């Protein structure tokens, strides 16, 4: 049942995403909602199928229930295949012991058997932390043509932000001669996007050596890439141009959602040639009431808007009652905002209930922080949640 | 006890010629994102009827495309699931008994193999020309408990807003909900009981009906199967008290669609979490409301881009409303593109219609202006 595949994609989806605090208490970061009807993992999964990669292993570890449900058999991404398709790969008990995934490299090492079943010549390593549209097939072609052992996708970032990323120093021919994780004084602006193509045999060789080293933290960025560079393997930087955003923080997640709005959004979901697929239920159409106001916003099926919504991204099944005002906010699915309530500059996770005349957050102009309510949190009638609050239901 | 379903996809095609020129009545788009067949199909699935045959006649490409393998209704099953039942027609002249069916009974006879092989104890029959969210499980249970020969879901029409431009089965109901009379006619509005054409009958009884029909050349299900048997056999009514909206003309389609703007109607149709209406998933992006958008009292699907004013409208997926445009009391089907500074009132556009900048079009509530599929104004 295992047809040979030239390249297998491995999607690292086990991360907790602890910087998203309340939003990742109950779910893994790749399953965090984005843009109203998507989740972060929809982007790498859709990129895979749009690039013609039909065999994807998803490595899960932290809070996998929702993620497992969500991916299911892979149907929404056309990845329910007899040969290949999407497979969830949780940590498991082997005959010599049982281990959690100790690091990104270790997670792949523990699943070499999955890759080898397909007799893959190349392995594409992805993470479930970023919002971007990318043709991985072009990157694979680049890898093959350059004869590299490893190709790392890089993005030009502003120099002042470079110290937040893993920075590649690159020769004129595109080969990498130095890699520094979060450098204090960056000497290049080429940031690693956390997307790697490896020639499988080389990858297996370095993962084996890494696994044998008890001192290693079993991480691609900290161990495998520096080790390969040190040994003089051919490492290439694949330049990517276009929208790419790490949504690892509350601020960046909010910003990426806002990138969908405006007349010429920096991130458009309307592009039919590179669709982002998602799993969604049988929501009825969205209704906008006779006294409602919806301005510069993105609204999804199942919403019922009777109040005012301005500069917002609304997930499916959100209700905004009469007299309620929601501004500059990202609202996840099935949130209920009561009569006369005011929600400003906030992120509300799924199933949050904001009582009548309650206040959440402060206007963006106040210069204060984003207020965040985790899944299932209830704000009582008339209650006030201050700006910058981070509340999650335990 | 097992139950199978049979859906007639074409019976009333002639009623809405504007919209059925290139599709079956079953695949007429309705309510922003649905097609008429979604209602009987979802009703069946929600009542655990997962062996469903859809009888087709002609023009059923759009229906096949919509249904696919049935996955979106959770009916892609190894055992049971959805089966499209195209007519069995000999492709030569003098086809005799194999000619294309002309009535409900002949249509059923074409599905005789499905009936014989479905293995179900009971069969639920349903049309596609009415909007209804009904618990069919309760209907079947009532039918079994009563021991009746047949049970027909009926609707008492008190509402003045029902107009019938086509004959329907008008029923008289006696004691213990027994149907005593059936008459095919156009009822006056108000205080009549009509058949919804949703019926339950045991599989064995249906097999006998089909054998007799073949042997005696019976033609009419209403006259030869129901009306003739009213005295001999117990044919019961199952009165339905939810929202029921038959669609037998373009005006009725318009009126019925507009009723969806009523919160009570929406609650009745879409508000029950255990009885959701399913449809083919199209993966549209969320709908975008621009800075200058003004939307009031409207129902919208995903994938729209709204830059102008929309009032009392039903917008299907991927509709575009340009700047300075004012659209009122309209039903705009999937992929309708309305340019800038356009004014529309009481207009129905079929799929892929383009209205260029600065156009002004108006129909009336009682006579909506219809623009056919793919046309450009």
- Report whether CATH 3.90.550.10 matches the domain B3-270: yes
Contact yes or no for B289 and A287 at CB 8 A: no
- What b-and-e string marks burial along B160-195, b requiring 16 or more CB atoms within 10 Å of the CB? eebbbebebbbbebeeebbbeebeeeebeeeebbbb
Q: A131-173: per-residue pLDDT in tens?
A: 999 999 999 999 999 999 999 999 999 998 898 889 999 999 9
* B33 half-sphere exposure, CB direction, 13 A CA radius: 28
B279 touches chain A (CB under 8 A): yes
Torsion of CA B90, B96, B101, B102, to 10 degrees: 150
Q: What percent of chain A has pLDDT over 70?
A: 99
Residue A115 has pLDDT above 60, yes or no: yes
Q: Which residues contact A351 (CB under 8 A, 6 or more apart)?
A: A333, A334, A335, A375, A376
Q: B131-176: per-residue pLDDT in tens?
A: 999 999 999 999 999 999 999 999 998 766 667 778 889 999 999 9
**Residues B104 and B8 sit within 8 Å (Cβ to Cβ):** yes
For residue A307, the model assigns a pLDDT of 98
Q: What is the CA radius of gyration of chain B?
A: 21
- Average pLDDT of the segment spanning B183-199: 86
A208 touches chain B (CB under 8 A): no
Q: A196-217: per-residue pLDDT in tens?
A: 999 999 999 999 999 999 999 9
Contact yes or no for B276 and A281 at CB 8 A: yes
A116 sits in which H/E element: helix A112-117
- How far, in Å, CA of B29 to CA of B5, rounded? 22
Q: Is B211 helix (H, G, I), strand (E, B) or coil?
A: helix
Which is nearest to B304 in space by CA: A299, A230, A240, A78?
A299
For residue B279, the model assigns a pLDDT of 95
For residue A394, the model assigns a pLDDT of 64
A133 touches chain B (CB under 8 A): no
Which residues in chain B have their CB less than 8 angstroms from residue A298's CB?
285-289
For residue B280, the model assigns a pLDDT of 93
Model confidence at A93, pLDDT cuts 50, 70, 90, reads confident
Residue B239, φ and ψ in degrees, nearest 5: -70, 130
Q: Which of B75, B283, B305, B335 to mutate to test the interface with A (most CBs of A within 10 A)?
A: B283
Contact yes or no for B299 and A261 at CB 8 A: no
- How far, in Å, CA of A87 to CA of A74, rounded? 8
List the single residue in B with minimal CA-CA distance to A315. B286
- Average pLDDT of the segment spanning B113-134: 95
Q: Is A321 helix (H, G, I), strand (E, B) or coil?
A: coil
B31 touches chain A (CB under 8 A): yes
For residue B117, the model assigns a pLDDT of 93
Query: Higher confidence at residue B5 or residue B102?
Result: B5
Contact yes or no for A263 and B293 at CB 8 A: no
Residue A85 has pLDDT above 60, yes or no: yes
Please provide the size of chain B in residues.
377
**Tokens standing for residue A206:** 């370095």
**Residues A26 and A64 sit within 8 Å (Cβ to Cβ):** no
Instruction: Write out the DSSP string of A36-70.
Output: TTEETTHHHHHHHHHTT--EEEEE--SS-HHHHHH
Q: For residue B281, how many other CB atoms are within 10 A of its CB?
A: 18
For residue B352, the model assigns a pLDDT of 96
Contact yes or no for A294 and B32 at CB 8 A: no
**Residues B20 and B13 sit within 8 Å (Cβ to Cβ):** yes
**Residues A108 and A202 sit within 8 Å (Cβ to Cβ):** no
Checking phi first, is residue A75 left (phi over 0); if not, alpha (psi -120 to 50) or beta? alpha
Q: For residue A230, with 0-12 CB atoms within 10 Å meaning exposed, 13-18 middle and 19 or more buried, which class applies?
A: exposed
For residue B159, the model assigns a pLDDT of 66
- How far, in Å, CA of A387 to CA of B356, rounded? 46
B286 touches chain A (CB under 8 A): yes
Q: How many beta-carbon pairs under 8 angstroms link A with B?
A: 94
For residue B99, the model assigns a pLDDT of 58
Contact yes or no for A275 and B283 at CB 8 A: yes
Model confidence at B75, pLDDT cuts 50, 70, 90, reads very high
pTM, whole model, 2 decimals?
Answer: 0.92
DSSP β-ladder status, B326-328 and B343-345: parallel
Which residues in chain A have their CB less than 8 angstroms from residue B290's CB?
263, 295-296
**Tokens standing for residue A119:** 């007799």
Could you tell me the strand order of the sheet in which B294-296 lies?
Answer: B294-296, B309-311, B326-328, B343-345, B360-362
For residue A157, the model assigns a pLDDT of 92
**Residues B144 and B1 sit within 8 Å (Cβ to Cβ):** yes
Contact yes or no for A282 and B277 at CB 8 A: yes
Torsion of CA A318, A321, A323, A324, to 10 degrees: -40
Alpha-carbon distances, residue B330 vs A375, B252, B368 (angstroms): 38, 14, 8
The structural domains of chain B, with segments of one domain joined by +, span 3-270, 288-371
Q: Look at the domain B288-371 and name its fold.
A: UDP N-Acetylglucosamine Acyltransferase; domain 1 (2.160.10)
Which is nearest to A128 in space by CA: A236, A215, A46, A226?
A46
| Alpha carbon of B370: minimum distance to chain A alpha carbons (Å) | 23
For residue B110, the model assigns a pLDDT of 85
Alpha-carbon distances, residue A50 vs A155, A268, A273, A350, B303 (angstroms): 21, 16, 9, 29, 20
Residue B97 has pLDDT above 60, yes or no: no
Residue B91 has pLDDT above 60, yes or no: no
Helices (H), B118-272: 136-146, 203-216, 250-259, 263-270
Q: A312-343: per-residue pLDDT in tens?
A: 999 999 999 999 999 999 999 999 999 999 99
Residue B315 has pLDDT above 90, yes or no: yes
Q: B326-377: per-residue pLDDT in tens?
A: 999 999 999 999 999 999 999 999 999 999 999 999 999 889 999 999 999 9
Residue labelled with tokens 């005006």: B251
Q: B252-294: per-residue pLDDT in tens?
A: 899 999 999 999 999 999 999 999 999 998 889 999 999 999 9
For residue B96, the model assigns a pLDDT of 54
A49 touches chain B (CB under 8 A): no
Residue B13 has pLDDT above 90, yes or no: no
Alpha-carbon distances, residue B291 vs A269, A293, A310, B301 (angstroms): 18, 11, 9, 19
Least confident residue range of A66-75, B158-167, B174-183: B158-167
Using CB atoms and an 8 Å cut-off, which of residues 38-97 of chain B contact chain A? 71
- How far, in Å, CA of A249 to CA of A155, rounded? 19
For residue A1, the model assigns a pLDDT of 63
B178 touches chain A (CB under 8 A): no
Contact yes or no for A278 and B276 at CB 8 A: no
**Residues A275 and A292 sit within 8 Å (Cβ to Cβ):** no
Instruction: Write out the DSSP string of B21-73.
Output: SSS-GGG-EETTTEETTHHHHHHHHHTT--EEEEE--S--HHHHHHHTTSGGG
Q: Is A393 helix (H, G, I), strand (E, B) or coil?
A: coil
Alpha-carbon distances, residue B143 vs A164, A376, B128, B199, B223 (angstroms): 69, 43, 22, 10, 21
Helices (H), A225-334: 225-230, 250-258
For residue A291, the model assigns a pLDDT of 96
- Average pLDDT of the segment spanning A374-378: 96
Alpha-carbon distances, residue A168 vs A65, A149, A356, B62, B252 (angstroms): 36, 16, 52, 53, 66
- How far, in Å, CA of A244 to CA of B75, rounded? 39
- Among positive and negative, which fits the CA dihedral B158, B160, B162, B168? positive
Q: For residue B241, how many other CB atoms are within 10 A of its CB?
A: 7
Largest distance between two CA atoms of chain B = 68
B287 touches chain A (CB under 8 A): yes
For residue A53, the model assigns a pLDDT of 96
- Among positive and negative, which fits the CA dihedral A206, A211, A212, A215? positive
List the single residue in A with minimal CA-CA distance to B31. A285
A35 touches chain B (CB under 8 A): yes
Using CB atoms and an 8 Å cut-off, which of residues 14-33 of chain A contact chain B? none
Q: What percent of chain B has pLDDT over 70?
A: 94
List the single residue in A with minimal CA-CA distance to B284. A270
Which residues in chain A have their CB less than 8 angstroms from residue B291's CB?
263, 295-296
Q: Is B345 helix (H, G, I), strand (E, B) or coil?
A: strand
Which is nearest to A276 in space by CA: B66, B70, B286?
B286
| Alpha carbon of B136: minimum distance to chain A alpha carbons (Å) | 19
B144 touches chain A (CB under 8 A): no
B274 touches chain A (CB under 8 A): no
Which residues in chain B have their CB less than 8 angstroms from residue A297's CB?
288-289
Fold match, B3-270 / B288-371: no
- How far, in Å, CA of A83 to CA of B69, rounded? 19
- How far, in Å, CA of A192 to CA of A125, rounded? 12
**Tokens standing for residue B18:** 């504007």
Which residues in chain B have their CB less than 8 angstroms from residue A269's CB?
285-286
């Amino acid at each position: 049942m295992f047809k040979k595949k030239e390249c297998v994609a491995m999607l690292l989806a086990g991360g907790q995403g602890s910087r998203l605090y309340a939003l990742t208490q109950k779910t893994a970061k790749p399953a965090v909602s984005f843009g109203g009807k998507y989740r972060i993992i929809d982007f790498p999964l859709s990129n895979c199928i749009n690039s013609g990669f039909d065999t994807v292993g998803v490595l899960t570890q932290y809070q996998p229930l929702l993620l497992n449900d969500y991916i299911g058999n892979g149907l929404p991404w056309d990845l329910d295949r007899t040969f290949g398709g999407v497979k969830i790969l949780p940590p498991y008990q082997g005959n010599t012991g049982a281990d959690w995934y100790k690091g990104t490299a270790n997670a792949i090492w523990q699943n070499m058997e999955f890759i080898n079943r397909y007799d893959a010549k190349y392995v594409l390593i992805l993470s479930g932390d970023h919002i971007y549209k990318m043709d991985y097939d072009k990157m694979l072609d680049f890898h093959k043509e350059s004869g590299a052992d490893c190709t790392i996708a890089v993005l030009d970032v502003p120099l002042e932000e470079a110290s937040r990323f893993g920075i590649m120093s690159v020769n004129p021919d595109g080969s990498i001669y130095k890699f520094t994780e979060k450098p204090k004084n960056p000497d290049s602006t080429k940031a690693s996007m956390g997307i790697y193509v490896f020639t499988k045999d080389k990858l297996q060789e370095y993962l084996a050596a890494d696994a044998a080293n008890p001192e290693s933290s079993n991480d691609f960025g900290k161990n495998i890439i520096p080790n390969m560079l040190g040994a003089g393997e051919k490492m290439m930087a694949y330049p990517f141009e276009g929208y790419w955003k790490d949504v690892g923080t509350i601020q960046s997640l909010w910003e990426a959602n806002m990138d969908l709005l405006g007349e010429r959004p920096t991130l458009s979901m309307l592009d039919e040639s590179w669709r982002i697929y998602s799993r969604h239920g049988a929501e009825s159409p969205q209704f906008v009431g006779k006294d409602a106001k919806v301005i510069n916003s993105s609204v999804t099926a199942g919403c019922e808007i009777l109040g005012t919504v301005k500069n917002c991204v609304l997930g499916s099944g959100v209700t905004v009652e009469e007299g309620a005002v929601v501004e500059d906010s990202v609202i996840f699915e099935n949130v209920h905002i009561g009569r006369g309530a005011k929600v400003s500059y906030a992120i509300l996770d799924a199933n949050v209930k904001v009582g009548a005349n309650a206040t959440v957050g402060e206007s963006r102009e106040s210069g204060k922080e984003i207020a965040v309510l985790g899944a299932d949190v209830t704000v009582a009638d008339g209650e006030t949640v201050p700006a910058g609050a981070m509340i999650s239901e335990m | 006890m097992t139950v199978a379903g049979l859906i007639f996809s074409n019976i009333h095609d002639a009623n809405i010629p504007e919209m059925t020129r290139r599709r079956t009545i079953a695949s007429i788009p309705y309510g922003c994102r649905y097609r008429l067949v979604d209602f009987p199909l979802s009703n069946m699935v929600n009542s655990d009827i997962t062996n469903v045959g859809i009888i087709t006649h002609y023009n059923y490409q759009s229906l096949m495309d919509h249904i696919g393998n049935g996955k979106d209704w959770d009916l892609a099953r190894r055992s049971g699931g959805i089966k499209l039942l195209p007519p069995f027609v000999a492709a030569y002249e003098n086809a005799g008994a194999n000619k294309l069916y002309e009535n409900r009974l002949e249509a059923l006879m074409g599905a005789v193999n499905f009936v014989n092989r479905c293995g179900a104890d009971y069969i639920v029959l349903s049309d596609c020309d009415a909007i209804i969210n009904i618990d069919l499980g309760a209907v079947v249970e009532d039918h079994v408990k009563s021991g009746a020969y047949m049970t027909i879901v009926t609707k008492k029409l008190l509402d003045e807003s029902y107009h019938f431009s086509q004959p329907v089965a008008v029923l008289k109901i006696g004691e213990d909900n027994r149907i005593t009379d059936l008459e095919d006619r156009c009822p006056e509005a108000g205080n009549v009981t009509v058949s919804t054409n949703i019926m339950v009958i045991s599989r064995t009884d249906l097999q006998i009906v089909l054998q007799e029909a073949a042997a005696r050349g019976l033609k009419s299900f209403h006259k030869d199967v129901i009306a003739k048997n009213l005295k001999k056999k117990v044919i019961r009514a199952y009165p339905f008290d939810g929202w029921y909206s038959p669609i037998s003309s373009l005006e009725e389609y318009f009126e019925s669609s507009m009723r969806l703007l009523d919160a009570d109607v929406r609650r009745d149709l879409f508000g029950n979490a255990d009885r959701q209406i399913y449809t083919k998933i199209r993966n549209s992006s969320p709908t975008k409301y621009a800075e200058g958008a003004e939307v009031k009292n409207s129902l919208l699907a995903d994938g729209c881009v709204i830059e102008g004013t929309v009032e009392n409208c039903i917008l299907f997926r991927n509709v575009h409303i340009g700047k300075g445009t004012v659209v009122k009391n309209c039903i705009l089907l999937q992929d309708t593109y309305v340019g800038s500074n356009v004014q529309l009132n009481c207009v129905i556009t079929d799929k892929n219609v383009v209205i260029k900048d600065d156009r002004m079009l108006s129909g009336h509530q009682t006579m909506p202006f219809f623009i056919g599929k793919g046309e450009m104004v």
